[in-house]
Amino acid sequence: MTRPVEKTDAEWRALLAEKGAEPAAYQVTRHAATERPYTGKYEQHWADGSYHCVCCGAKLFDSGTKFDAGCGWPSFSQAVPGAIEEIVDRSHGMVRTETVCTNCGAHLGHVFPDGPAPTGLRYCMNSASLQFEDK
């Protein structure tokens, strides 16, 4: 699939290093790795602002949609419309819904149907895939 932002693996590595992204960012965003629960820098981060894709900078979530799901990863009840693509993930003997950045294809995490009202969704994201911008 062609995306608005495409780069080689070497270009993604260089870009993430230039941005000072955490070491796991490349493996998480480009190879669908998952950070360990309760270790991400945004898991208990509650400042006002917005969360963006660490790879391309696209806005993904507003801080007002973040909630404490108790799962060990930053969780959001609603994404910015059109910012996230959902893909069926059949890895690890499960069927889940993977979330990727629509703009660059970066793996972000998964979405589950057990979130709060009004959406009922829990976007369970890897901190390594996110970049926070203060309001």
Alpha carbon dihedral 107, 111, 117, 119, in 10-degree steps, equals 80
Examine the residue annotation and report whether 53 is marked as an active-site residue of this protein.
Answer: no
Question: Residues 56, 101, 104, 124: which is the catalytic one?
Answer: 124
Distance from first CA to last CA of the chain, Å, rounded?
Answer: 33
| Angstrom distance (rounded) from CA 76 to CA 125 | 8
Asked if residue 108 lies in contact with residue 53, where contact means CB atoms within 8 angstroms, the answer is: yes
| Angstrom distance (rounded) from CA 71 to CA 80 | 22
| Angstrom distance (rounded) from CA 38 to CA 62 | 21
Q: Which of 72, 85, 78, 12 is nearest to 42 (CA)?
A: 72
- Residues labelled catalytic: 124
